[in-house]
Amino acid sequence: MGQYILKRLLLMLPTLFGITLIVFLIVNLAPGSPIEQRLQAMRFGGAMGSGSSGASANVVQKGDTGVSNEVVEALRKQYGFDKPVIVRYGIWLKNLATLDFGNSFTFEEPVLDVITSKFPVSLQFGITSLILAYMISIPLGIRMALKDGQAFDLVASTVLFVTYSIPPFALAILLIVFFAGGSFLDLFPIGGVASDNADQLSLFGQILDRIHHFVLPLICYSIGSFTTLTLLMKNSILEEVRKDYVRTARAKGLDERKVYLKHALRNALIPVATGLGSFVTVFFSGALLIETIFQLDGIGLLGYKAVLSRDYNLIMGSITIQSFLFLVGNLISDLIYVAVDPRIDFGAGSSKAG
């Protein structure tokens, strides 16, 4: 197993290299650039203030005709666009060795500081939705398997499919209208993560205030994963109970509930448990539309702003960290797979019988 882990860790390097290279080339060769964004702002500013001063003639040409070549070249040098794209990638890769993603063109701060400043909101929603999904979906999936084809299973399946079919942003709007907008009920705040007077509350009061603000957006974050995980749990158990070892347990006269919970459950948990490896990606749990609707300053909204403003350093930093966490999550999933099913031995390259 140690050799397998080492092999996977070594394979992460070329994989991460390939991802960053492709993304870097696509981002840098796509139309639009930070320089164009800056020039548009300068042209707009020049047009608004063209009659106010003649001293700016060496920076902005008369009226709003454009920006001087000297300024353009200075901007190209400032952003590093005076070098070929491959050379720029080499410089970026060299800085990556020290976790230096450069400065954000938009926020004018180190990229790592900008990204980590958005972690708290996304991390809270990510961890909470992950815990709730497993706490609710696994027991519900087991219950649906026990009641397969009965009224409980049919009603639960219908509710799950209906909620799954509703887009999260549409659900967010409906929840606000019915429970926060005041048109029907005014039980929850419309948006934000805390009240304006949160600083004046006690620690317990601040916790309750945060929970109060989290209820509606958390429902929108989690609703899709509930359906997927619940049905996966149910179908995994139903698949296990059709196997010979379960038939043997039934033939011995064991209670049906004991057959499900004692014999079939452990093997049925394998595909569900391996998904726990994705918990490392909760650092980047973000949904643009949900964050916009509920006025949450998280990772999803940050990524949208980075693309919109052509903030290359911020885009590359976000994608690199997300890719690394995804690769680590896959490795953790494999390790959980081995822990749940001892017959699996990745180190030997095959499964042990028995």
For 159-211, what is each residue's pLDDT tens digit?
998 888 888 888 888 888 888 876 788 888 888 888 888 888 888 888 898 88
Domain 119-297 CATH class label: mainly alpha
- CATH code 1.10.3720.10 region(s) in the chain: 119-297
pTM: 0.75
> For residue 53, what pLDDT is reported?
40
Task: Map the chain to HEC letters.
Answer: CHHHHHHHHHHHHHHHHHHHHHHHHHHHHCCCCHHHHHHHHHHHHHHHCCCCCCHHHHCECCCCCCECHHHHHHHHHHHCCCCCHHHHHHHHHHHHCCCCCCECCCCCCEHHHHHHHCHHHHHHHHHHHHHHHHHHHHHHHHHHHHCCCCHHHHHHHHHHHHHHHCCHHHHHHHHHHHHCCCCCCCCCCCCCCCCCCHHHCCHHHHHHHHHHHHHHHHHHHHHHHHHHHHHHHHHHHHHHCCCHHHHHHHHCCCCHHHHHHHHHHHHHHHHHHHHHHHHHHHHHCCCHHHHHHCCCCCHHHHHHHHHHCCCHHHHHHHHHHHHHHHHHHHHHHHHHHHHHCCCEECCCCEECCC
> For residue 62, what pLDDT is reported?
36
* Chain segment 151-160, per-residue pLDDT in tens: 999 999 999 9
In the predicted model, residues of the chain with pLDDT beneath 50 are: 47-65, 350-354
* Chain segment 28-54, per-residue pLDDT in tens: 887 777 777 777 766 665 544 444 443
> For residue 50, what pLDDT is reported?
46
